[in-house]
Each structure stands twice: as C-alpha cells, then as structure tokens.
Chain A
Amino acid sequence: MTDDYYPWGGEFTACAPQGCVAVVLLNIQYNPPKSVAIYGSLKTENIGIEKIIANTISNPSIRFLVICGDDIRGHRSGSSLIALHKNGIDHNHRIINAPGAIPYIENLKEEAIKRFQAQLNVIDLIGEKEKEKIDEAIADCTSKSPQSFGEPYIAIRLKPQATVNLTDNRALHSRIIVDYLGKVKKRGA
C-alpha cells in the first residue's frame, strides 16, 4: 500500500493516508502523531529533496510540509528545500538561492516542482527541536482540514536513455573493452 501512495521509496514512515501533513526531520529524534500522512528524515540537498517532492505530490491529501530539527551542516538540506518551494530552480536545475553545497534537482520535471509549490504549504520549524512545539504546529495544520489537491501526481524519474545492446560484445561498460586476460582498452581507440 505504501508503494501506491509513495512510489519513489526512501527512508520514511507512512501513517494516515488521508492525513494532510508530511513531516521532514532534520537531525532530530522525533515521532510525530500517527495522524500525519508521512514522516521521514532528510539528509541530502539533491536526491533527498527529490524524494520528498515525489512522495508528497503523489498523495493529494498532503497539504502541509512541516520541516523541523537542526539543519544538516554543510548540506543545508532543510533550508534548500524551503528555497525550492519559494523560488524553484534555474536553467541549470539549481535551486535558486539555496544555501546547500550541491542543490540540484535533476530527476524531476519542472511541472512536478510547480505542483509541489502549489500543493504544499511549508511550515518552517528549522531550529525547533521541542516535541510540544512541533506537535502543536502539526495539530494546527490538521485542524484546518484542507481539501485534497485532487488527482495524485506520479512523478516520472528522469533517467538517461539506456544504451544496452545485448548483442554487443562488451564487459562492464560501453566505453571500454576488456579482453580475456583483463587488458582494458578504450572502445574504438
């Protein structure tokens, strides 16, 4: 069932499918109430953020994204996620004004990002580690009982086109040829 709602997988816990809150945990040991739709930790400012986008827009009931805990040193993943929601990405797919080291969104269409911006309201609790305060913010979101955003958006993971040709006599990778002794040569050289 989890796969139906959250097709991109990752390190998260799925709770109430109709819940309107998703919780992003940054360097924090905290278990949100079971009324939330999903919660999990965020580590990286690129692939980690992509998974959050894909796994929230796939469930239209989720309308709030609560981001709590201490931001990840260096990666600044939480702040980069907020920057993405606010500013989107530039022509190089870099999150505009993101403070993280490598804040690039490469595996999602811009349409998915726009959907994320429209569907989710971000509750910025970066720096907040007190359970009571986070619980309170989640309860506040839940009390608003927002409407579902409509249809789920199943993001397609953009992958480079596979070039494998099974009739090709290759070992390991198309750029090199490895002979039976283990001598490596560049293909075509």
Chain B
Amino acid sequence: MFSFTKEQKVFDLSGIPIGGQPGMYPTVLFGGLFFKGEPDFDDAKRHLRTIYELCKQTGVPVIPDFFIRKVEYIQPILSFIEKAIPKKHPFSIDIIEPSIKIQTLEQLASRKLLPRTIYNSIHIGITKEENEALRAYTPEAAIIVAFNPKDTTPDGKIEVLENGAHLLEAGLLEITRHIGIEKILIDTAALTPGENSGAAIAAIPVIKEEYGLPTGCAIHNVVEKSRWLNDFPFAKKTVDVASNNAIPLFGGDYAIFGPIENAELVVPLIAWQDILVSEYTENYFGISPVASHPRRNLLK
C-alpha cells in the first residue's frame, strides 16, 4: 500500500470524486455495457438499478460505460442515457471507430450531455477530425490510454503521454489539454498475456508519482484474453472479478470492469480492498477516508 510524494489531483466527475492519495476516496468503477447485438435497454435498466443500489450500500461509485459499436446505436443509446441515468450523474462512452466518436460527440452536444460525459478514450490513434470534433464539442473529462506499441513498459507508457513516442507530434497529455480537457484520467493500457500485461499494474504508482493524475486501467481485459483459463470455467469468473483488486492495491484510482453483470461481485470486492488500503494509509500516512468511503459506510 502506497502514499505518494507528488501532490495528487482530485477531479469532480458530476459529483463523484476521483484521484488523490490512496485511502482517501473510494475507488471509482466503470462498468461496461457492451450491448452485444441490438441494445437491450430493459436489461440495461436493471443493471443501472443494481449499480446505484450497490453504490448506496457500499460507497463505491460505479459509472456506466456505454460501448457504442454502430452509428445506428448512437441515438437510442443517448436517448436511454437521458432517460435512465439520474440527472447530473456521470457516464462514459467507449467507442473505437473515429467516425462514430465524432458523430456521438455532436449528438452529446446537441443533447447538452457533454458536462456529464467521460470520453473513453483518447489514444495514439487520434485523428485530425477527432481532435477537431473534441475541440468543438468538449467533454467534461477524458480517459487517455497510454498504449505505446513499441514499448509496453511504464517508461514507454510515459513516453507516449509525454511526447507521443514519435508516433504523434505531441504527447497525449499536451494534445488533451490543448483540446481543453483538464479532467484527465490515465489508463495504463492493459495488454494481452505475453505482451507485458503486468506493466499495466506496475505503471500505476509510477505514473501517479510522475503526474499526480487519477490512474487506473481495464485489467479484466487481460483475464478475457487468458485463453488457458477457458479450461477452468469456475475459476475464470473469480479471476476476472479478482483482477480488479490489483488496481487499488497498487495505488490506482479507478478500474474499468466488464460486463456490468459482474457488478454484484466487483463492487463488494473493491469495497473490501478499499477498507484494507484505508486502514493502513490512515495509520501510517494520516490519510482519513471521506464520509462516503466504504470504511465509513460498512464498518460501524
């Protein structure tokens, strides 16, 4: 369990604090709504109810992360967000295709949803058109993925943030700040097993000490890509859920998990881990947990 010398920034994501010294704020979870095939909004509504209830019980905030895979899904998903997510609550949008990203940004702006939007994500594949769209329709916060295809170590991840690793004309941090986004969350880019997957966890304290920015990753992706685990179906689910623990343990601020169906397992697990971290960091570093922290919520 760590405490950092570098001052740690804390951002407000529509009422949810993220960042700071380990043990102060609850770990923030992003739960992925992937919508395989046609979006099932009744199912999504049930999951939203579950995550908000879990959050109330434990103090661990869960932000729904909407994966938009097709242009024709932009409108229904954004309409669902408007209707189903309580006003002022944040959400994130996870899109791969640059053209869908741009169209979604335009629609988020016209629906006045940008102040609640966490953009997932900016990475070295950012196009000129995406950059321009982000400047025109600037979301409240963005996740920056520190993926460096040449160097998967923490140094390589810092290089891509700092100077673009010669793949871009500037570093991802400068590009994002130039767009006008100040609330930056660093994603340490969890890669497939065999591609230095552990570096995503080791990079968390390194990057937090370097920049003082909220840092995390989607470590569950490594489990999904560990095909050998298919021979152990009972253990696979446990490993998938438990993988998220490594993030707060290494000083991280947020975990992107998925699918959101796992929330009932992941949220109590993170609450447990947050309590563990908080007890130590308060004892040794004098970091008191905030009122909403699981330690205050669950240990009476």
Considering only residues 1-40 of chain B, those with a C-beta below 8 Å from chain A are: 1-6
B6 nearest CB neighbor, chain A only: A186
* A189 to B284 alpha-carbon distance, docked (Å): 22
Q: Which residues of B contact A156 (CB under 8 A)?
A: none
Q: In this complex, what residue of A is CB-closest to B148? A: A106
Residues of chain B in range 186-214 having any CB-CB distance to chain A below 8 Å? 191-192, 194-195, 202-203, 205-206, 208-210
CA distance A104 to B167 in the complex (A): 8
Could you list some 9 contacts between A and B, CB below 8 A? A47-B192, A100-B125, A101-B96, A104-B149, A106-B148, A107-B150, A175-B155, A182-B2, A183-B2
Q: Which residues of B contact A (CB under 8 A)?
A: 1-6, 69-70, 95-98, 100, 123-125, 147-151, 153-156, 158, 166-167, 191-192, 194-195, 202-203, 205-206, 208-210, 227, 251, 280, 284-285
Q: In the complex, what's the smallest C-beta–C-beta distance from B44 to chain A, in angstroms? A: 20
A133 within 8 A of B: no
* Chain A residues in 8 Å Cβ range of B153: 160
Assess whether A178 is in contact with B205, with CB atoms less than 8 Å apart: yes
Q: Are A184 and B124 in touch, CB under 8 angstroms?
A: no
Interface assignment of A152: CB less than 8 Å from any CB of chain B:
no
Query: A74 on the interface (CB 8 Å rule)?
Result: yes
Known A102-B147, A160-B155; contact A189-B5, beta-carbon cutoff 8 A: yes
Residues on the B chain within 8 Å of A182, using CB: 1-3, 280, 284
> How far, in angstroms, from A105 to B285 measured CA to CA in the complex?
44
For the complex, what is the distance from the CA of A182 to the CA of B283, rounded to whole Å?
12
CA distance A104 to B152 in the complex (A): 13
Q: Are A186 and B96 in contact (CB under 8 A)?
A: no
Task: Decide if B5 touches A183 in the complex (CB within 8 Å).
Answer: yes
The answer to whether B125 touches A101, judged by C-beta atoms less than 8 angstroms apart, is: yes
- Residues of A that sit less than 8 Å from B by CB: 9, 11, 46-47, 73-75, 92-94, 100-107, 158, 160, 172-173, 175-176, 178, 181-186, 189
For the complex, what is the distance from the CA of A176 to the CA of B166, rounded to whole Å?
24
Q: How far is the CA of A38 from the CA of B210 in the complex (A)?
A: 44
Given contacts A73-B69, A101-B125, contact A181 B284 (CB under 8 A): yes
Q: Which of A47, A73, A176 contacts B96 (CB 8 A)?
A: A73
Which B residues lie within 8 Å of A92 (CB)? 166-167
Q: In whole angstroms, how far apart are the Cα atoms of A14 and B194 in the complex?
A: 19
Inter-chain contact A176/B167, CB cutoff 8 Å: no
Number of A-B residue pairs at CB separation under 8 A: 98
CB <8 Å contact, A175 and B96: no
Chain A, Cβ-Cβ closest to B284: A181
The answer on a CB contact under 8 Å between B284 and A47 is no
The answer to whether B2 touches A184, judged by C-beta atoms less than 8 angstroms apart, is yes
List the 7 shortest-distance A-B pairs measured between CB atoms, nearest first: A74-B96, A106-B150, A101-B125, A102-B125, A106-B149, A74-B97, A104-B149
B206 touches A173 (CB 8 A): yes
The answer to whether A102 and B155 have CB atoms under 8 Å apart is no
Give B96's nearest chain A residue, CB to CB.
Answer: A74
Please pick, from A11, A74, A172, A184, the residue contacting B202 in the complex, using a CB distance under 8 A. Answer: A172
> Which residues of B sit under 8 angstroms from A104, Cβ to Cβ?
124, 149-150, 167
Instruction: Say whether A184 contacts B3, CB under 8 Å.
Output: yes
A176 touches B206 (CB 8 A): yes
| Residue of B with least CB distance to A11 | B227
Please indicate which of the listed interface residues B166, B205, B284 has the most CB atoms of chain A within 10 Å of its own CB.
B205
**CA of A94 to CA of B150 in the docked complex: distance in angstroms?**
12
Question: Is there an interface contact between B284 and A175, defined as CB atoms closer than 8 Å?
Answer: no
Q: Which residues of B contact A47 (CB under 8 A)?
A: 149, 191-192, 195
